[in-house]
Amino acid sequence: MNYENILISIEDKVATITINRPEKLNALNKATISDLSKAFKLLGKNDDVRVIILTGSGEKAFVAGADISEFANYTIAEGAELAAEGQESLFDYIESLKKPVIASVNGFALGGGLELAMACHFRIASVNAKMGLPEVSLGLIPGYGGTQRLPQLIGKGRAMEMIMTASMISAEEALQYGLVNHVVPQTELLSFTNVIAHKIIKNAPFAINKAIKAINANFADGKNGFEYEIKAFGKCFGTQDFKEGTSAFLEKRKAVFTGK
């Protein structure tokens, strides 16, 4: 499939999606969101892909925000539809994807860009990265899940301050807040992210899928995370990967998982 605004490469079971609008600092427009949505759906079904890395092209920006020119004249209804469609087709989809998605944040992650990074399962940043949700400076609020995911990740008080002041934080502050897991030099960002991706690949795919869903269940309305964990734990016992993992442990060898 041909994409207008993203690049995809697959190597050693790791797919890397690069948002490729460097002249716009990789800003999200409708076409880019559509490209990303299609790519994640295809890669989610690709048995040759075990982990997905999401990053931006160039050295300045992961995603510097939404393309404001597209929605500057929207009505109330159009604005609500924009947020609803984006959340359903991309942001919520990434969060619930059965394969791990790592955001490799290589520069500015602002507005929709930070929301996109937060939808990923965890984040790794380069030292030059800066993050923020500046929507209130435009007379808006975050519309792609930012008011929900940021408090989950860094706490209510810090999220309130970041959103209400429209301030950016540095990569080191993001690390201190727990918004990112690691901060590394930009030249090492993708190689470092790939090392973590391959650590994940060594483990059982079915179990990783269930772990993602169990963790997400704790934050979903109407779901009991503990109950989901119990059921998912039980289902793992019926897999070939469980038999392989326990046999390998008892036989003191490395397990070879198939995802079945």
Which listed residue (23, 135, 229, 244) is catalytic? 135
Q: What CA–CA distance (Å, rounded) separates 170 from 162?
A: 12
Q: What CA–CA distance (Å, rounded) separates 121 from 244?
A: 26
Query: Quick one: which of 37, 102, 12, 29 has its CA closest to 64?
Result: 29
Q: Is 135 marked active-site?
A: yes
Q: What CA–CA distance (Å, rounded) separates 152 from 95?
A: 13
Which listed residue (81, 85, 115, 251) is catalytic? 115
CB atoms within 10 A of CB 181: 14
Q: Is 172 marked active-site?
A: no
Instruction: Please count the residues of the chain.
Output: 260
Q: What CA–CA distance (Å, rounded) separates 61 from 51?
A: 22
Q: Would you state the structure tokens that stand for residue 16, as one six-digit string?
A: 């890397």
Q: What CA–CA distance (Å, rounded) separates 61 from 110?
A: 9
Q: Which active-site residues does the annotation give?
A: 115, 135
